[in-house]
Structures are given as C-alpha cells and as structure tokens.
Amino acid sequence: MLEFGYYPGCALHGSSSDYEQSVQACLKPLGVGLKELDDWICCGATAAHTLNHMLAVSLPARNLALAERDGVTELFAPCPMCSMELIKVNRALDGNAGLRQRVSEIVELPVTGKTQILNLIQVFQRIGVDKIRATVKKPLSHVKAACYYGCLLTRPADTLQFDDPEHPRSMETVLEALGASAVEWNYATECCGAGLTMAREETVCELSHRILTNAAAHGANCLVVACPMCHTNLDMKQADIDRRYGVHHDMMVYYLSDLIGMALGLDETQLGVDKHFVVKPLESPATQAAEMH
Amino acid sequence: MGRIGVFICWCGENIARAFDMDELTEAVAEIPGVRCAIHYKYMCSEPGQALIREKIRSEKLEAVVVASCSPHMHLKTFRAAAAAAGLNPYLVEMANIREQCSWVHEPYEDETVAKAVSIIRMTVHKVLRNRALEPIRVPLTKRALVVGGGVAGIQASLDLADSGYEVVLVEREPSIGGKMAGLSETFPTLDCSQCILTPRMVEVGQHPNIRLYTYSEVESVEGFVGNFNITIRQKARYVDIEKCTGCLECWNRCPSREAPSEFDYGLTKRKAIYVPFPQAVPARPIIDLNSCAKFLRNECGTCLKVCQANAINFDDQDMLVTEQVGAIVVATGYRMYDIGREQENAKYAGYGEYGYGQYRDVIDSLQFERLLSASGPTGGEVKRPSDGAVPKKVVFIACVGSRDNAKGIPYCSKICCMYTAKHTMLYKHKVHDGQAHVFYMDIRAGGKGYEEFVRRAIEKDGARYHRGRVSKITEENGKLIVRGADTLAGAPVTIEADLVVLAAAMRPATGVLELAQKIKLGYDEFGFLSESHPKLRPVETNTAGVYICGACHAPKDIPEAVAQASAAAGKVQVLFSKGELTREPEVASVNEQTCAACFACVRTCPYLAIDKAEIRDRQGNLRKMTARVNPSLCMGCGTCVAVCPSKSVDLEGFSEEQIYEMVNGLI
Amino acid sequence: MDHEASMNAALAATSVENCYQCGKCTAGCPAADEMDFMPNQVLRLVQAGDADTVMRSRAIWLCVSCLTCTTRCPQSVDCAGVMDVLRQMAAGQETVPPDMQRIKVFHRAFLDSVRRHGRINEVELIMQFKTLGFLKDRNMRLLMKDALLAPKLIQRGKFHLQGESVRDRAVVRRIFDRCMPRADRARRATADKDSASGGVV
Amino acid sequence: MSEDFEPKIVAFVCNWCTYLAADLAGTNRLEYPPNVRILRLPCTGRVDFNLIIKALEMGADAVVVSGCHPGDCHYTAGNYHARRRWILFRELLETMGIETNRIFFSWISAAESKKWQHMITEITDQIREMGPYTAYHEISEATA
Ligand SMILES: Cc1cc2nc3c(=O)[nH]c(=O)nc-3n(C[C@H](O)[C@H](O)[C@H](O)COP(=O)(O)OP(=O)(O)OC[C@H]3O[C@@H](n4cnc5c(N)ncnc54)[C@H](O)[C@@H]3O)c2cc1C
Ligand SMILES: Cc1cc2nc3c(=O)[nH]c(=O)nc-3n(C[C@H](O)[C@H](O)[C@H](O)COP(=O)(O)OP(=O)(O)OC[C@H]3O[C@@H](n4cnc5c(N)ncnc54)[C@H](O)[C@@H]3O)c2cc1C
Ligand code: SF4
Ligand code: SF4
Ligand code: SF4
Ligand code: SF4
Ligand code: SF4
Ligand code: SF4
Ligand code: SF4
Ligand code: SF4
C-alpha cells in the first residue's frame, strides 16, 4: 500500500472541498493512504510573492520543515499553486546554505528542502497507469475530454520538471487508461486568471470564456482539471461568464480524480460531483449509440 | 664548439650613433667561444654578406651571430648567406641591437652599451648550443579529397579539377547538389537555383579529373599533410550504376509509393526505387529497402524483371575503397534545426508552442522552397499541405531557433532574413491577392544589394513586417491563429493565417563531429568546424593540409559558400604548387626513454601533432607507452615542453638548455 | 537578509539585463491587452533604470502570474519574477493606481487572514476584501456582488463560516514579523483595525 | 636602497606579438629604460615556470611574460595555456615565499608599441622602488 504525506492547502479545506472529497474517495480503492501534514499552514499563494519575497519563501518552507520533522519524504499537494510554491522553495533552498540557515531561523524548524512534492497527476503516475487501467470497472467511453492543465501544473518547467509545458500529455495518458478520449485543442496550458478570481473578475471571465469556447469547438463534452482554482473559474464562474457573453456553455468541469472515481465505479455523490455548479449528465454511450441509428 | 663569428652592424648611423663600435666589438670579442668579432657599415648589403661568407671560410667558423636589426628583418638573409658559404643555416642567430637597443635608449649611456653586450652574449650562449638541422621534407600526393557535394563542394572540386589536379569527391546522399538543388529562386538576384546549379553538377559528373563517390562516406583518415590515406565506404545501392543506363524503366514500373521524399522534405511520397530528383548526378536510381516490397515481403521484383541492363542487384553490399590524397577539403554543409518537439539532444528543446509536426500547415522554410519551386510537388503553385488551398495570408516567422538561448542556439543564422524576404516576394508574385506577414527581431541584410532587396519586399511587394517574436500558434477552424507582438507599436498582434513558414536555424550537418574526429578537425560548441584564424586564415584549419568551406563552417549563403570554396581550392593549389613539402625543422621531439606517458602534451598540443605510441620489444610485447611528435604536423609553439612534468619533450631551436643559457648570458 | 536585500536578490535572479526586447512575453501574455505597458516594455524600463514609472503602472497588477512569459522567453528572463518584484516594491510605496488598489487590497487581506489564522478563512477574507475595497473605491455593486453567490456555496458545503485555524498561531505571527519590514508592519496595524470594524459591517 | 640600484628585468616574449611590439617601439623611437632584456620564444605557451624561477635565481629583479591577446595566439591557444598555468603557479610561488609582485603578465599585440614602452617604464620604476631581489637566495640558503 502506498502512503503519501498530504498537504491539502486552504482551498481544499474551503470552497474546493469537493476536490478533497473526490481525491480521497478515488484514492481509497486504489490502495493509497494519505496522512495529512500536522498543523500545516497556508503556502501564501500569489499574495505572498506579490507582496513580500521573504514571506513567499518562508510560508512554504514552514510546511517543508514540518514534513521533514515528521519524516515525510513524499508530500502530495493536490493544488498546483501549493505544489509549485513548495517545489520552488525546495529548489531555492537546495544548494544555498545561507538561505537554508536564514529560513530555518524564520520558521523555527530546520529545513533542508529535500521533501519530494507530488501533484495529483504524479500520484496517479506513482500508482501506475497500468494498475489504474486494470482497476477500471466502468470505462468512460462517453467522455470526450479537453484536458486543461492551466498554467501552474507544468510551469516553471525547469523547476517542476514534470511535463512538457507546451504540449503536456500526462492527463491524456491517464484518461486513455480509463477508456475516455481526449480531444486535441488549443488552450490546454493557457491561463484562466487563477488567483485573480476575486480581485479582477473581468480578466478571469474573459480568459475562462475563451477556454470554454475552444474546448467546445474542438468537440469536447467536458473539461478535466487538476486544480481547485481552474475549477472555480471554469465551473463556479460559468453562469457569470454565460451572462457576461450571452452564451450558454453548459460545460461539465471534472477533476481528474472525479473521472478516475467514476471509472472505478464510484457514485458521483461519493466524489462530490453533485457539488459542482454545472451538473448535467454526459451523454451515456447508450444514448449516443441510439442517436446514431 | 668554440669558433663563433660575431658580425656587428652599424646600420649606417642607426646603430653606430649609440656606441663606440670599436669598444663594443672589443667587449664582444671577450665573450668565451667567440673566435672573431667584426663590425661593418651595412651587414645586409652584398659586401657585408661577402664579409660573412669570407670569414666563415677563412676562420672555419662553426656558428655565426649577426648583431644588427630584428630577426624578423634579416634572419633569412643571413642564414642564406651562411648556407652559401657551406655553413648550416640553423647555426646562424641574430642579436637585435637596433630595434630593441640603439633606437630606444639614450646613446652612449653605459647601460645601453652594457645592454648591447648582454644581448650579444645571450645570443652567443644560444648559438653555441644550436644544432645543424635539415628542413623536414614531406612527399606530396597531388590529389585532393572533397567531402560533401553541395554547391561549395562542387565549386571546390571543379576549381581543382580544372587546374589539373585529380579530385575524389565523396557525397553521402545518392546525388550531389546539396540544399541548393532544392531551392526555388535565389536571392539577391532571384535566378533559378537549378538553372545555375545543374550545369555545374553535370560538369562534375563528366569531368575526367573527378572521381565521384555518391552514397558514400569517409570511413577513416590516416596520415598527414601531403600523404593522407582515405578509406571510403560505398553504401549498398542495390543498383549497379556502372551497368545502369538510366532508362528509368524500373522507376516507372515500381508499384511502391510509400516513403516520404527526402528531396521534397516529406511534402510528397516517392517510390522504393527512385532517383532523388530528375536532375540528379548521377542520374541513376537507388533502392530504399525500407519501402521495397520485395525486400520487406518478398512480393515484388518488378524492377529486376524490367531492367534490360541487369543492373538491379539485391545482393549488393557496402564496399570499402581506399584513395591516396595530399589535401582534404571539407564541405559538409548544414541541416535545418528540428523545430518539432523531438530532439536528439535535450539542449535543443523544440518549439512545442509553434505546433510544427502537429499542424500540417506549419512548415519550415526549406519546405516552402519546394512549394515555390517549379519542380516542386505543386509545380510551383503555392498550395498549402493540408487541403491544397492557395493560402491568402501567410505568416513568416524569423529567428526560429536562432538567437534563442533557451533553445540552445544563441547565434544568428545569417541568411534567414534574406530568404524570408525572398519568400514574401516570390509568394506575392504567385498569389497576387495574398498578404505576407513577417515577425522578425532585426533585419540582417548586410551584403551587396541585400538591404535594397529587403526594402523591395516591403515597399514594392507589400510584405508587412512586425517587429516581435511569436509566442504561440494554434489552429482553429482551418486557420492558424498566430499570436505575436509588435514591439514598435507596443501591442500584441494576432493574425489568422492560412499557412505559417518557420525560418529555422541552420545547424551543422549530422555526423560532422564524427567526421571531424576522423580528420582531427576542431569545431565549436555548436558543431561548426573551426578555421585556423577568423581573419587571416579563414579556410585553413589547424590540421595542415585540411581546408573547410561552405556552411559547415558557419551559416552562410551561396555567394559566400562559393567564394570560400574557391579560396579553399586556391589554398590546395598553393600546397600542390611545390614538388615536395618542406617545413621548418624547429619542431618538438620526445625523449621516449624518459616519457612517463602522462599525455599532458597530447592534450595541450593545439595542432594535435602528438600521438600516443607503443614501444614494443622484438617479440612484440608492449614495453611502454610514449608520446611521439609527428614532425610533419608540429608548428613549434613549445607548449608541450612547458607542460611536460618529466621534461621529456624539447623544442629544437628553443631547447631547455638554450633558454637557460640565454638567461645566464643576460644577467 | 532584510526585505530590500531579498528583493534585490530576487530581481537579480530574473536576469532582466538579458532581455533583448523580442516581445515574445507580450505576445503570449493573457493580460497584455489590458496593460498600459506591455510586459516587454516593463522589462525595458527596468533595464533602463526607470523602475519608478513601472511601479506606478497598471500592468504589474494586471499580471496574473501565469508564467507564460517566463516559460517561453528565449533569453530565459524570469519576466513573471520581475512583475513580482515590482509589485512588492510598489506595494511598499503606495504608488498603486486607484483602479488597481483592489488587487493589492485583496492580496493584503489574504495575507492578513493567513497571519491571523495560519490558513485562509474565506468568509473573513471576502468580508474584509469587500469592505476594504469599498472604502478604497466606493464600488457598491462589487460590495453586494458575491453576496448572491454565498448562499449557493453554503448550500454546497463549500463555505466554512467558522474557518480553520492552526494550533500554533503564534509561530505564524512570528514568521510574518520576521519577513515583513517595519514600515509594512505599521501599515498592517491599521489594516487590523480596519478589518476589526469590517467584521462589524 | 642604494641610489644607483638599476633593476635587471628579464622579459619572456612571444615571437609573434610582443616581440614585434618591441620592434615597433624601436621603429617609432619610443624611448624606455634599458633595464629590460628581451628573450624571444615562439609563444608564451613555451614559458615553463621553472624558467621564471631560474631567471630570479640568476639575479633578475623582475620577470615579464608577454604574448598575444587571448584569441589572437599565433598557435591558437598557447597563451591560454600560459595563463592557466600561471594561475596555478602563482599559488605555488606564494607558498614558496616568492614575491609574485615581481612577476608581470601582460598581453601586448604587435601594434601596441606604446603599451610596451609604458609597461617597461612603469615596471622599471616600480622595481627600482622595491629594491633588488634577494629573497630567492635567502630562501634557498634557508632551505639548504
Ligand atoms: C530556406 C532556405 C533558402 C535559401 N535560399 C538561398 C538563396 O536564395 N540564396 C542563397 O545564396 N542562399 C540561400 N540559402 C542558403 C544555401 O542553401 C546555402 O548557402 C548553401 O546550400 C550552402 O552550400 P554547402 O555546399 O555549404 O552546403 P549543403 O548545400 O548543405 O551541401 C552539403 C553537402 O554535403 C553532404 N554531406 C554532409 N555530410 C557529409 C558527410 N559526412 N560525408 C559526405 N557528404 C556529406 C550533404 O549531403 C550535401 O550534399 C537558403 C537556405 C535555406 C535554408
Ligand atoms: C572604422 C572601420 C573599422 C573596421 N573594423 C574592422 C574590424 O574590426 N574587423 C574587420 O574584420 N574589419 C574591419 N573593418 C573593415 C576592414 O577595414 C576592411 O574589410 C579591409 O580593410 C578591406 O581590405 P581591402 O584590402 O579590401 O581594402 P583596403 O584596406 O582599402 O586596401 C586597398 C588598397 O588598395 C590601394 N589602392 C586603391 N586604389 C588603387 C589603385 N587604383 N591602384 C593601386 N592601388 C590602389 C589602396 O591604397 C589600399 O592600400 C573596418 C572598417 C572600418 C571603416
Ligand atoms: S643588417 Fe639590419 S641593421 Fe644592418 S644594415 Fe642591414 S638593415 Fe641595417
Ligand atoms: S531499368 Fe535498369 S538500366 Fe534502367 S534505370 Fe533502372 S536500373 Fe537503370
Ligand atoms: S522490387 Fe522493390 S524497388 Fe523493385 S519494383 Fe518492386 S517494390 Fe520497387
Ligand atoms: S538572419 Fe535574420 S532571421 Fe536569421 S537568425 Fe539572423 S536575424 Fe534571425
Ligand atoms: S607530457 Fe612529457 S611525460 Fe607526458 S606524455 Fe608528453 S612527453 Fe611524455
Ligand atoms: S611544439 Fe607545439 S605544435 Fe609542436 S608538438 Fe609541441 S605543442 Fe604541438
Ligand atoms: S520574451 Fe524575454 S527577451 Fe523577449 S522581450 Fe520578453 S523578457 Fe525580453
Ligand atoms: S506572468 Fe504576468 S506578465 Fe507574464 S504572461 Fe502571465 S500575466 Fe503576462
């Protein structure tokens, strides 16, 4: 059985609790245990590096220090913003003894920056795509997804060393194991506005609108994300976007974990899919087949 | 030795003004080993030289020091004079008391005189330890190898062959011609590339002095300047080009048409037995086993049946042949930077953001040349690959790969600004209602008529130039959405294009590094071959007898490649103009008994003149390893002497002993 | 390392001097259309030593930190990092254009919430952001706007009215105190007061 | 130091750059003190550091090594070798207690006759100030 340290980050304990529900529900049948990091603190997100460089280093560093204290070597952070901030600090600490010492003093715990950070997709990669394929109970042949990575899952590429920042393929690979298909489209790594959700709605709506439009134009019947902020912008804001642009996107936005859960035979309510703002049944294979006749 | 003659020159007043010449001469006569010391008004004049000759004979001098001007001025003169009197010329040295003494110090000062004496004493100390030397003679094979049959290799071969030397031309592809054979029209004059190149190709094919090996590679190179021994691998072609008459019946009848055409850069398919292009030299087919039905499935054999000349041979094997040459010209040219995501080396990260290889209507500039070419897949009509539609809006992107540190190529590819301007023009000439857009960073058009050419593309043919790089290309509804910037306007620019042409960087040809290692050529971090001196020896290399030309040296256009090729041919002719090669004998040599085989010298020698050698006893058992200098390659810099930890290398003319004794003499 | 030194180090790490003004950052920036200075112009002004002009710009606040520019820059300039540093400098200097105040206020409210609880308390954050934002730009519509969304969130169990706090809140405060320069701290003291009254509204 | 101390300076110069600069200084009649003795070598790459010590041992008060500018070496890279060796050697000399401030490295191209003139003038003045070099003999006596 695999076990990872778990850093939920604020969003998963707040307005993206459906994501946490989904992650936990789908990992259980795959035999993955999560051990939540004790007394973790917020990573500071965009706000910290917008306002104070040292804080942007220290807040993630405190969490890395907690992980090191508790002997956690692999830490799963489902929010790409959190995982990117954690990795960035890891890299900054690595090979800079001066900074390590200074930061250790600030966060009151020794920190070396050696913990390996995993995002959602990497957790699935660790489980093994073949194992997932073997565990699938209900292949998702009716799903034609546009995999949306957003900006932070793959960037900055040389720091994260995760997937091609221009043409990532890791989500597609997982989806194919589920029997779903993925469309080729153009906005897989275009930004949705991420952290500006509240502060600058017009920007966020415009960017998200373009993403939804492009996905539909390329024949996707849903979007798949692995980021709470992307989900917020594309799902929660969808009604707002519809109103603003006089359209009706009506696009399901799944977490990658939702689809895995569904393929493993879990109920949508177990995964928290019912808590999304846009909820509608995707055409099942049966109805699609019926239409073709 | 102890019979040294010292000849002190007045140089009119130039030297004599500074000294009392008699006193100086007397002081010099005191130096141990000096047999006679004489002063004279003009040593380099005929009477002066006669004086030296006479004294060499009468005093039976064993060595000579001329104390006068700089050795750069007259060392050759005096060595020749000594030789005329029967003295080995390497037993003559000069003491520079003019440039470095009388001209720069106050006259008649004691210090000045003392200095002149010590300069002469130092030189005497040295010449006492000079040895009689003979110039190194190297036999010379007056044939040349040219590697690469692009326009540069063709030019070099023809120049050499026309001046009467035999040329061995080795081309890796089934035909010569290189990239130029596939170009449409060429800047800056817009003449048709094939029209000017194919006659030259035919000439190569028919020239009595040129032995052409196509579909062949250099397997190994041994020897050195004047005496290279080349092994050439002739790859199996499965068609005997001696028997083949070139009727092309096989080509017409071959049923397989699967492989992407190399000549059209994948824009069309070709058959399994094919001639690369109609004007190929030799105009003989070749079979690509990877797409031949007989070879793959034993299902065909049509060509075997139809060939009247019995030229098809499925049992053909690679063959090794050897050739002796005296000089080598490398002209292996370039290849395009691979814009796609897959790279042979992670350093050259591809351009995922441009969708090359993903969107069919994003092509590179060599592919666009084919679309423009009258002999190309569309017969010269501009039609885009995806659906054959005539593109009404074409975006050209400059500096793709070039000047991009993040992708591993910081240099400018130099010609893409020009061919991009050419592309916009030719496109406009063919699609009158079309609009060309160019994204560029700087326009680099230095050359005769080049700037005017670019201005014509903009002013007359209406190409719209945007100064900025493109960030991303996406495809929507059959249009390519190009997102760039116009930094002069200070705004992002989005263009919906029908076709996008990427002016990819030029990189050296594949396999050039292996070749360079075989020939012992230097190359830069990008794999371009290094010249000996960027200004004064631009086509020579640090390996004597090896020359470079064309785009294997750096990105360059046809005029430059051709000029360099003629220069390289000229250098070979200079080399061949002598009966045999003679070299200055002031070279290094290794004391093989004391050499510790650390090979520090091997690594430092800039001319790769030192080899690792084995010393074996009579039974052939390895006794020890040693370094060994090849006197034909050593240039006499002495770097090896300084690095040898066991003091086992020494340099003739500047030996350890000589230099120590000179220091001794100075102080 | 004090705040300024760490900012200078951060700016140095961006290699801003390597920028050769190709504009690829601008071309890919999702926010460029709205910016007063294009990303490449921001870089140019910093190179030219005119940080003052860019610190007053709207561009640095419109940047959404998506890293597109940094990812594609041919000179490996960390353009997004430059934006960060400029925001940090501008935030400390009160040169933020009026219509960008909201963004800064949001980030500040965010950090205040973290400072107080160790994690984000979303309800509090929204309340504080809305009131502070309202005090800055008197935008009534905005004040009311997400009030409509809140019930839906609560209904979906996505809003924790209580919010979470970490056990060791004292250490969080100490971390903040060590990182924030004195001037910032003084200002935050007033922000604390504002938010206290904000809580009442 | 005695008033009439005249330093002895040995210059190891390459045949292709600095030697020609010294020639040109002559052609241009650029005066400089006669204290320098020029020893022509093919390349500064030939300069073995034992040579420098030898010169000091034999009574030189200063040593100059001068050749082509980086990138202009007649033999492509000899001057790089010389420079690299010098960096290593300097430490060695310092541990031996030899004053490295009496050893001068410079690049002087064939055209830089003025530079040659200035350098020699300056070094001569400087060494005249420093006085004769006796340390070597003191060291070798001490270690003997
Ligand atoms: C899109 C484009 C448009 C251009 N348009 C123009 C133009 O309009 N005007 C202009 O002046 N220039 C133009 N050029 C430049 C022109 O193509 C080059 O200057 C010219 O081809 C260089 O000639 P070359 O002989 O050095 O190299 P190449 O043409 O590359 O020839 C090299 C030859 O060596 C062979 N070879 C390589 N390695 C080996 C090996 N190991 N052993 C044996 N053989 C080997 C190759 O097969 C090839 O035949 C253009 C270039 C491009 C990319
Ligand atoms: C400011 C400046 C800086 C430069 N810097 C560099 C540099 O850093 N690197 C570089 O590579 N290049 C440089 N160059 C370029 C360089 O000067 C030229 O490339 C080079 O000098 C050209 O050499 P040439 O022999 O063709 O012409 P020239 O040097 O002009 O020589 C022509 C000779 O022909 C003689 N002559 C002319 N007419 C007649 C006649 N009718 N009969 C007999 N003799 C005649 C002239 O008197 C002259 O001696 C520079 C040029 C300039 C202007
Ligand atoms: S040998 Fe030299 S110094 Fe003597 S006269 Fe001739 S040029 Fe002058
Ligand atoms: S049919 Fe035979 S002779 Fe004719 S081209 Fe083919 S191989 Fe040559
Ligand atoms: S045997 Fe091969 S090459 Fe010959 S005709 Fe058949 S497929 Fe073509
Ligand atoms: S020649 Fe022009 S297009 Fe080519 S790399 Fe240089 S500047 Fe860029
Ligand atoms: S450096 Fe000296 S000891 Fe070493 S291999 Fe060369 S000659 Fe032999
Ligand atoms: S003297 Fe120079 S060229 Fe000759 S072998 Fe030694 S290092 Fe090589
Ligand atoms: S992409 Fe990089 S080099 Fe180009 S303008 Fe932007 S920061 Fe400068
Ligand atoms: S990080 Fe900021 S400046 Fe860079 S592309 Fe994204 S929004 Fe634009």
pLDDT of residue D58: 86
Tokens 């000079």 locate to: B130
Give me the percent of chain A exceeding a pLDDT of 90.
Answer: 74
Question: Which residue from A minimizes the CA distance to B477?
Answer: A217
Distances (CA, A) of D104 to B616, D12, D79, D90, D112: 46, 10, 14, 11, 17
The pLDDT of residue C195 is 43
Point out the domain boundary residue: C92, C111, C137.
Answer: C92
Rounded to a whole number of angstroms, the distance from the CA of B386 to the nearest CA of chain A is: 17
Contact B385, B267 (CB under 8 A): yes
Name the percent of chain D in helix, strand, coil, to the closest 5: 50, 15, 35
In total, how many domains does chain C have? 2
pLDDT at residue A289 greater than cutoff 70? no
Q: Supply the CATH classification number for the domain D9-139.
A: 3.40.50
- For the stretch C78-127, pLDDT in tens is 999 999 999 988 987 878 888 888 888 888 888 998 999 999 887 777 77
Q: Is the CB of B147 under 6 A from ligand 1?
A: yes
Q: Of B391, B326, B328, B335, whose CA–CA distance to B364 is shortest?
A: B335
Which pLDDT score, from 0 to 100, does residue C136 have? 58
Question: Chain A closest CA to C109's CA: distance in Å?
Answer: 9
Chain C: give the shortest CA distance to residue B433, in Å.
27
In angstroms, the CA B365 to CA B282 distance is 27
Q: Which spans in B128-226 are helix H?
A: 151-162, 193-206
* Residue C132, pLDDT score: 63
pLDDT of residue B399 exceeding 90, the answer is yes
Question: Is the same domain home to C150 and C80?
Answer: no
Q: What average pLDDT does range A26-49 have in this prediction? A: 93
Task: Give B7-51 pLDDT, tens digit per residue.
Answer: 999 999 999 999 999 999 999 999 999 999 999 999 999 999 999
* CATH code for the part of the protein at A2-118: 1.20.1050.140
pLDDT classification of A287: cutoffs 50, 70, 90: very low
What is the per-residue pLDDT for C92? Answer: 78
- pLDDT of C150 reads 60
> Could you report the per-residue pLDDT of B616-654, keeping only the tens digit for each?
999 989 999 999 999 988 989 999 998 899 999 999 999
Helix, coil or strand: residue B78:
helix
Structure-block tokens of residue B401: 């790969």
pLDDT at D1 over 80: no
- Place A288 in a pLDDT band, splitting at 50, 70 and 90: very low
Q: Which residue has the tokens 């000594």?
A: B82
Answer yes or no: is the C-beta of B239 below 6 A from any ligand 4 atom.
Answer: yes
Residue-number span of the structural domain to which B641 is assigned: 587-651
- Give DSSP secondary structure letters for B486-539: ETTTTEEEEEEESEEEEEEPEEEPTTHHHHHHHHT--B-TTSPBPPSBTTTBSS
Tell if the CB–CB gap between D46 and B651 is shorter than 8 Å: yes
In angstroms, how far is CA B100 from the centroid of its own chain?
39
pLDDT at B498 over 50: yes
Contact present, A137 and A264 (Cβ < 8 Å) = yes
DSSP A236: I
Per-residue pLDDT tens digits for D62-92: 999 998 887 777 776 666 777 777 777 777 7
Instruction: Find, among B396, B496, B486, the residue nearest to B438 by Cα.
Output: B396
Stretch B588-611: mean pLDDT: 92
Residue A284, pLDDT above cutoff 70: no
Instruction: Flag whether pLDDT at B426 surpasses 50.
Output: yes
pLDDT at position A286: 46
Residue nearest to atom 4 of ligand 9 (CA): C22
- Residue B106 sits in the same domain as residue B207: no
The domain that holds C84 is classified in CATH as: 1.10.1060.10
> What subunits touch chain A, counting only 3 or more CB pairs under 8 A?
B, C
Q: Which CATH number fits domain A137-292: 3.30.420.40, 3.40.47.10, 3.40.50.11810, 3.30.160.160?
A: 3.40.50.11810
> What's at A254, amino acid-wise?
Y
| A166-205 residues touching C, CB cutoff 8 A | 190-191, 193-196, 198-200, 203
- The full set of domain ranges for chain D reads 9-139
Query: Does residue C186 carry a pLDDT above 70?
Result: no
Q: Which residues of C touch B470 (CB under 8 A)?
A: 24, 27
If asked whether residues B436 and B522 sit together in one domain, one would say no
pLDDT bucket at A95, cuts 50 / 70 / 90: confident
User: Domain for residue C44, yes or no?
Assistant: yes
Strand partners, D107: D67
**CA distances (Å), origin B615, targets B223, B626, B630, C190:** 19, 7, 16, 87
pLDDT given for residue C158 in this prediction: 66
Q: How far apart are CA A195 and CA C87, in angstroms?
A: 15
Average pLDDT over residues B186-197: 95
Option in C21, C22, C72 nearest B353 (CB): C72
Cβ(B629) to ligand 8 under 6 A? Answer: yes
Preferred mutation among A158, A166, A183 to probe B, highest tally of B CBs within 10 A: A166
**Nearest C-alpha in C relative to B484:** C27
Q: Do B472 and C29 touch (CB under 8 A)?
A: no
Residues of chain A with CATH 1.20.1050.140: 2-118
- The verdict on C103 and C192 lying in the same domain is yes
- Please determine, for the modelled complex, whether the ipTM score is greater than 0.90: no
Q: Has residue C160 got a pLDDT over 70?
A: no
Q: What is the pLDDT of residue C13?
A: 86
Residues C74 and C157 in one domain: no
Say yes or no: CB of residue B588 within 6 Å of ligand 8.
yes
Per-residue pLDDT band at C2 (split at 50, 70, 90): low
Same domain, B166 and B299: no
Question: Greatest CA separation found in chain A?
Answer: 70
- Tens digits of residue pLDDT in B340-352: 877 788 788 889 8
Q: Are C59 and C128 within one domain?
A: no
Q: What angle do CA B94, B97, B103 make, to 5 degrees?
A: 145
Give pLDDT, residue D38: 96
Nearest to C72 among B468, B471, B487 (CB): B471
- Residues C74, C39 within the same domain: yes
pLDDT at position A124 is 95
Residue C201 lies in a domain: no
CA distance B44 to B41: 9
With beta carbons less than 8 A apart as the criterion, state whether B286 and B216 touch: no
Q: For residue C50, give its domain range.
A: 3-92
Higher pLDDT, C190 or A192: A192
SS (H, E, C) chain C: CCHHHHHHHHHHCCCHHHCCCCCHHHHHCCCHHHCCCCHHHHHHHHHCCCHHHHHCCCHHHHCCCCCHHHHHCCCCCCHHHHHHHHHHHHHHHCCCCHHHHHHHHHHHHHHHHHHHHCCCCHHHHHHHHHHHHHHHHCCHHHHHHCCCHHHHHHHCCCCCCCCCCCCCHHHHHHHHHHHCCHHHHHHHHHHHHHHHHHHHC
pLDDT per residue over D25-36, tens digit each?
Answer: 999 999 999 999
Q: What is the mean pLDDT of residues D114-126?
A: 96
Instruction: Report percent pLDDT > 90 for chain D.
Output: 46
β-bridge mates for residue B649, sequence order: B590
pLDDT (0 to 100) of residue A47: 86
3-state secondary structure of D86: helix
Contact B659 D51 (CB under 8 A): yes
Share of chain B above pLDDT 90, in %: 87
CA B658 to chain centre: 37
pLDDT value, residue A291: 44
Order the strands of the B216-224 sheet from edge to edge.
Answer: B216-224, B227-234, B319-325
As a whole number of angstroms, the distance between CA A89 and CA B85 comes to 82
Looking at the fold, whether B446 and B458 belong to one and the same domain comes out as: yes
pLDDT score at C197:
36
Reported as a single tens digit per residue, the pLDDT across B505-562 is 999 999 999 999 899 888 999 999 999 888 889 999 988 899 999 999 999 999 999 9
B77-100 pLDDT tens trace: 999 999 999 999 999 999 999 999
CATH assignment at residue B203: 3.50.50.60
The helix (H) or strand (E) run that includes residue A121 is: helix A120-127
In this prediction, residues B99-125 reach a mean pLDDT of 91
* Span from the CA of B556 to the centroid of ligand 2 (angstroms): 22
Residue C153 has pLDDT above 60, yes or no: yes
Give the integer Cα–Cα distance in Å for B362 and B360: 6
Examine chains C and A and say if they touch (3+ CB pairs below 8 A). Answer: yes
B324 plus B278 within the same structural domain: no
**CB of C25 closer than 6 angstroms to any ligand 9 atom:** yes
Helix (H) or strand (E) holding A63: helix A53-69
Please report which confidence band the pLDDT of residue C134 belongs to, taking 50, 70 and 90 as the band edges.
low
Number of domains in chain B: 5
pLDDT higher than 80, residue B444: yes
- The confidence band for C196, taking pLDDT boundaries of 50, 70 and 90, is very low
| Residue B89 DSSP label | G
> In whole angstroms, what is the distance from residue A190 CA to residue B211 CA?
58
Distance of CA D4 to the CA centre of its chain: 22
Widest CA span of chain B, in angstroms? 101
Distance C32 CA to ligand 10 centre (A): 8
Residues C149 and C165 in one domain: yes
Share of chain B above pLDDT 70, in %: 100
